[in-house]
Amino acid sequence: MTGTRVVVLGGTGFLGGHLRAAFRAEGDQVVCVSRTSPGTAAGSAASDERFLALDLLALSPHELRAHLTALDPDIMVNAAGAVWKVTEQQMHAANAELVTTLIAALRELPRRPRLIQLGSVHEYGAGTRDSGLAEDGMEAPVTPYGRSKLAASRSVLDAAGTGALDGVVLRMANIVGPGVPTGSLLGDIAAHVERYAKDPEATDAELVFPPLRAERDFVDVRDVVDAVLAAARAPRTEVSGRVINIGSGRAVPAGEVVERLLALSGLPVRLVERPADGAAFVDCQRLDVSRARRLLGWEPRRDLDTALTGLLSGLSLP
């Protein structure tokens, strides 16, 4: 893929930063599109990297098409979107409406790139221990985030199904790695650990939560990056118009993951789970990743401890 032109939308975010760095390491020409400038986190801007400051939500399809025509990408990765600290309306605009605008712009390009849409396990909704969540299974999201991401995925799949787009959806598990944002469970835990490391007297050593019983699939950000690179290289006939799950293939109770993260930190921070009233339903989200193995030649290579250690490596700890 040397010399491939890659545009990463939302390229200054957690996953976008890692993707920019990985494509550049492959020798590709990367353009980061975002409202904010690259910082010092993972994937911060290199001296020869192009950065295009755009508010994607403010652009019409015609305006976005003009920018994309000038960039003439081979690959576009949509890592833009909103998860936390926004209203439901803002979330829908950033996750679903943006993709509608993007597809309208891509349809009119003289040369259409491959669009890699980064989806979410939450598009499936609650699962059970009986079986993994497969791409041809039921989609019943239970959160506004899951519904907005599913709407975006369906837009990509519909356009690809008519031949108007070379698009693939990578439906990802909960991603763990350096720079994981606050607002997420592990991002908030990591921020607390970092505060405690800097000033134990000012930060409580106890983290109090309701029971963290939900079982979740956690995947190392480096494995996710490998999957995106594989999707960019794969033949169109293999991946266009498809959903491909990217996860560890395992479900672990969230409380166990937090306990392990705290243990690996080496700090005396403790998780305290306060009993909840009544018996709560425990859902289990475990992605079936057999399609990724078959179509991308990809499988997760890093275990949970490796992923959590990677997350801790991005913190300022003693």
Burial class, 170, CB count within 10 angstroms (exposed 0-12 / middle 13-18 / buried 19+): buried
Burial class, 136, CB count within 10 angstroms (exposed 0-12 / middle 13-18 / buried 19+): exposed
Q: Which residue has the tokens 């019943």?
A: 140
Looking at residue 185, its amino acid is L
Rounded to a whole number, what is the distance in angstroms from the first to the last CA of the chain?
40
**What beta strand segments (E) does the chain contain?**
5-9, 29-34, 50-53, 75-78, 114-120, 166-172, 174-176, 206-209, 215-216, 218-220, 243-246, 252-253, 270-273
In a 13 Å sphere around the CA of 107, the CA atoms on its Cβ side amount to 17
Query: How many Å apart are CA 19 and CA 149, to the nearest integer?
Result: 20
Could you give the residue numbers annotated as active site?
Answer: 145
- CA gyration radius, the chain: 20
